[in-house]
Structure 1
């Protein structure tokens, strides 16, 4: 049975998400289980902070752009929660699907849940980053994941405290998973119908995935050292 006494906080790192942040915050506001929505504005150059605040979120603004991991680390220091939802700012209306991630944690069936996304709408890269992440997680933990790069996660506060600090850059999700399983926590993938911004097969998309690959590889090398 769901324990409604738990304080649930949604933590959203955001950089230049003006197009979607209002809809994301609004969708989360509709979830009765969520007590607070906190947006960590990673020195955006657009109206992300103002729009998030107008939609009802508490906004923490960083002076300089520090990346997703650093934004989450700062946000984690400034929230009080029993359950923490880590969500991206570009989910829009589909952020409401986070309720599916929340239920197993509230019910004690998982220490951390991970959103398993549907197949992408656009053709992106060639699966190299996802393949590296999936193989790395399997190598270090034995866990098979369909969405190893998913940033949409829910966890108990003790789990978050054990996993801090989060890895920098695009390797944060892979680092989270490996550390959680190694610490003995139960990690569960949950199918959702979330959508977010996708990169295509263009120069910008390939550059993005190149950075992702390097960041994930760095986290996996570090995991070998800490094993």
Structure 2
């Protein structure tokens, strides 16, 4: 019997991308259900998602924007009841969401307990690499494991890994914090190169503010993890 695989997609104001994101994964035979959590969007994200024809898709609409961590936890309440494998995908992947198939095969083959999507280099010039460098160095310092895609939110987990967490942490440091914990618990992580694309932040004020928040949250998470694992 094939494992039950749930995909959770937190989405905020993604009416332009969510249809393509869903259309390109709904027919992947290994995927059993897709849970879209509309994180209080002010556009038609929920409406567009509900119009995609598939018995696999469930749309949860939150009354207000509470952030990605809250949306993931909301989706997990549903997914954890049935799933053997749970995946997180962003709502803005568009047609490149089909690349999730590259993550499914290695986890089904027991090559690792967690599979992380490694994106190709960004097309748009973003920051100066401070955030990515901090994330990579933090995980290496804490675990001795060198990973390139520590900030990637596209991940597949065996259920037993997620059962170690009472809830998904909130804030921009969530991926780094979880990666450290997963490795410290002794689980195996594998990165897989995918040809995924999503919205990129540029070298404008909005982009620098976003990266500043990421940097602050990662530093905060690192301090917390050093206390927890000393």
Match of 2:146 in 1: 144
Q: Give the distance between the partners of 1:127 and 1:170, measured in 2 at CA.
A: 16
Deviation at 1:185, TM superposition (A): 0.5
Give aligned pairs, total.
224
Superposed, which structure 2 residues align to 1:157-172 within 5 Å?
A: 157-172=159-174
Q: Give the distance between the partners of 1:168 and 1:146, measured in 2 at CA.
A: 22
TM-score, structure 2 as length reference: 0.94
For residues 41-69 of structure 1, give each alpha carbon's deviation from its aligned partner in whole angstroms, at most 9, with x where no partner exists: 11111111111111243111222211111
Q: Give the distance between the partners of 1:164 and 1:94, measured in 2 at CA.
A: 31
Superposed, which structure 2 residues align to 1:69-88 within 5 Å?
A: 69-79=69-79, 80-88=82-90
Deviation at 1:7, TM superposition (A): 0.5
Match of 1:68 in 2: 68
Q: Give the distance between the partners of 1:175 and 1:213, measured in 2 at CA.
A: 13
- 2:10 is the counterpart of 1:13: yes
Deviation at 1:163, TM superposition (A): 3.0
What is the alpha-carbon root mean square deviation over aligned residues?
A: 1.1
TM-score, structure 1 as length reference: 0.95
- Determine which of 87, 92, 95 is the counterpart of 2:94: 92
Q: Give the distance between the partners of 2:51 and 2:156, measured in 1 at CA.
A: 25
- Determine which of 187, 200, 203 is the counterpart of 1:201: 203
SS of aligned partner of 2:59: strand
Deviation at 1:39, TM superposition (A): 0.6
Q: Give the distance between the partners of 1:66 and 1:218, measured in 2 at CA.
A: 20
SS of aligned partner of 2:35: strand
Deviation at 1:103, TM superposition (A): 1.0
Extract unaligned runs of 5+ from structure 2: none
Extract unaligned runs of 5+ from structure 1: none
Match of 1:185 in 2: 187
Structure 1 consecutive aligned stretches of length 4 or more whose deviation exceeds 4 Å = none
- Determine which of 10, 34, 39 is the counterpart of 2:36: 39
Match of 2:134 in 1: 132
